Structure 1
């Protein structure tokens, strides 16, 4: 395991928690598709997209800090696949039902699979 500074541990901890917060946001958004009492789904989806930017921009620093952890770095790079799925999503502008299906059945599952893999590899840095 790579030796890190206290600041690096804090950054990794923040990053780890951000990934969980994004998952919670997705949970809310997906539930809002069928529960009309959850009225903040659109705003939270926009927040998720903004958080994606922060996740992606953090990867350059994480790559430098964790460069010896090849498997983890490769897993971080797979976030690009989540972004590419989003880039191909045009239903945001065409059909509400198609957009909801995309978020629920493609984007959220892709993000969740990536997140769980990354978090499992970051776990040793979180528990220190």
Structure 2
């Protein structure tokens, strides 16, 4: 297995853990539909959208790293499916409401499928 530079390792490790954080956020926002005590849904969803920007922005560097690791680029590029799902809800996300929680519910399964596939190819690299 090829060696990573410290910067490459840090990027992949951060990326891997960021996906877990986004999952937690989507679960929180989704649950806010049923639980009125989850009062930070709007802020959390805004943070998720920001995380999506960072995830997408890091793909060009990860794709360069992935040349030495088969399977990463194919899974990374499937992030477009997550973004497409988000865009289906875009018009209803003008301000926080139950539509945002519903969008998170619709986005969560698509994100989880993508996240699992990406983490399955990254985990052996960052734990090696």
TM-score (norm 1): 0.89
**Structure 1 unpaired stretches of 5+:** none
CA contact (8 A) 2:31 2:101 kept: no
Partner of 1:102: 103
Which protein has greater RCO, CA pairs closer than 8 Å, 6+ apart? 2
Partner of 1:75: 75
CA contact (8 A) 2:29 2:45 kept: yes
Partner of 2:117: 117
Aligned residues: 127
CA contact (8 A) 2:28 2:41 kept: yes
CA apart distance, 1:97: 4.4
CA apart distance, 1:71: 1.9
CA contact (8 A) 1:2 1:66 kept: no
SS in 2 for 1:3: coil
RMSD: 1.8
CA contact (8 A) 1:2 1:68 kept: yes
